[in-house]
Amino acid sequence: SAVISQKPSRDICQRGTSLTIQCQVDSQVTMMFWYRQQPGQSLTLIATANQGSEATYESGFVIDKFPISRPNLTFSTLTVSNMSPEDSSIYLCSVVWGTGGTEAFFGQGTRLTVV
Amino acid sequence: GENVEQHPSTLSVQEGDSAVIKCTYSDSASNYFPWYKQELGKRPQLIIDIRSNVGEKKDQRIAVTLNKTAKHFSLHITETQPEDSAVYFCAASNPNTGKLIFGQGTTLQVKP
């Protein structure tokens, strides 16, 4: 498996501000995804980060709130914009490769607290 | 839309007993079913997976079964140990999109 580096690992932010989370992979991957895990909950897919084009967002998530970049096959960013306490969660990037292109692995996550 | 239901939400067993967690999925196009273990404060770790052309897969104390007709899949842990205590998530993946839809999670507690 490749090494997935996600940063920052945690942050405490003021409401109304924005935070950009970075995800770096040490090899080229076809698919990258961003998930949110609210306290005590499961993982919810935010969007698919498409290389060289706009991300594909899941229902309930919009580009203005969660802009995503993916300039190449090894890097992506997720920005959480105009934050409120409800955005306090763990945000995880995930990459997919392997036989059939389906095995998924996760970055270490970013624990965000909005105050 | 795509959905994965997971049961039970919590499971408590004695050390040495077996634990079974069950999931059902809605998207008939799903063909890949991984299980993740998440310890407190850590990222989910893939522990076993199964593809739709296989009915059962085993790795030491862990096994997964798949009933594609019924859209059910299950995780079986035998001879449980305290270090098996964690939150377990099932997921289903559509080969066309690669994205994972997760179940709600099961908190497993293994009592010494």
Q: What is the DSSP string of B23-89?
A: EEE--TT--EEEEEEE-TTS--EEEEEEETT-SEEEETTEEEEEETTTTEEEEEE-S--GGG-EEEE
Q: With an 8 Å Cβ cutoff, are B31 and A102 in contact?
A: yes
- What single string gives the DSSP state of each residue in A59-95? TT--TTTS-EEEEETTEEEEEE-S--GGG-EEEEEEE
Contacts of B100 in chain A (CB under 8 A): 33, 43, 45, 94, 104
Please give the helix or strand (H or E) that residue A20 lies within, else none. strand A19-25
Percent share of chain B, pLDDT over 90 = 82
CA dihedral A55, A56, A59, A64 (to 10 degrees): 20
Q: With an 8 Å Cβ cutoff, are B99 and A41 in contact?
A: no
Mean pLDDT of A48-71: 93
Kindly indicate the confidence band of residue B85, based on its pLDDT and cuts at 50, 70 and 90: very high
Residue of B nearest to A96 (CA): B98
Kindly indicate the confidence band of residue A1, based on its pLDDT and cuts at 50, 70 and 90: low
C-beta of residue A76 within 8 angstroms of C-beta of residue A94: no
Distance CA A80, CA A87 (A): 8
The pLDDT value given to residue B71? 95
Q: Which of B3, B7, B23, B32 to mutate to test the interface with A (most CBs of A within 10 A)?
A: B32
Kindly indicate the confidence band of residue A98, based on its pLDDT and cuts at 50, 70 and 90: low
Higher pLDDT, A8 or B41: A8
Q: Is the pLDDT of residue A101 over 70?
A: no
Q: Which of B100, B101, B104, B106 to mutate to test the interface with A (most CBs of A within 10 A)?
A: B100
Q: Is the pLDDT of residue B68 over 90?
A: yes
Percent share of chain A, pLDDT over 90 = 79
* CB-nearest partner of B43 from A41, A45, A106: A106
Q: Is the pLDDT of residue A52 over 90?
A: no
Please give the helix or strand (H or E) that residue A106 lies within, else none. strand A103-106
